[in-house]
């Protein structure tokens, strides 16, 4: 005898307090990540505009460090969105 719910996966969504704490943690994480993104953009801008201040006038390494910094921050935001959804 088959039931109508066979093969359906139940998803735990949590209660009000759990979801409120998830939301607060998400907001705090977002507020701490946004300055990191701004700093990364400033670092990239500095690397592009001030080539003469780097050794041998090469700005590739400082620019790549800024790219890694912004990639980490954006990946953290993306994972946060996926876990909240």
34 in any annotated domain? yes
The reported pLDDT for the residue numbered 84 is 76
55 in any annotated domain? yes
What is the DSSP track for 1-61?
---TTTTPPP-----HHHHHHHHHHHHHHHHHHHHHHHHHHHHHHHHHH-GGGSGGG--HH
Range of the domain at 27: 16-84
Q: Is the pLDDT of residue 72 over 80?
A: yes
The reported pLDDT for the residue numbered 53 is 87
* Number of domains making up the chain: 1
Residues 64-85, mean pLDDT to the nearest whole number:
91
């Amino acid at each position: 005898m088959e039931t109508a719910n066979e093969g359906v996966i139940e998803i735990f969504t949590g209660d009000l307090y759990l979801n409120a704490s998830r939301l607060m943690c998400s907001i705090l994480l977002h507020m701490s990540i946004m300055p990191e993104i701004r700093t990364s953009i400033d670092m990239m801008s500095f690397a592009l505009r001030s080539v003469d201040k780097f050794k041998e006038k090469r700005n590739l390494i400082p620019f790549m460090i800024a790219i890694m910094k912004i990639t980490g921050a954006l990946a953290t935001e993306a994972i946060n969105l996926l876990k909240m959804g």
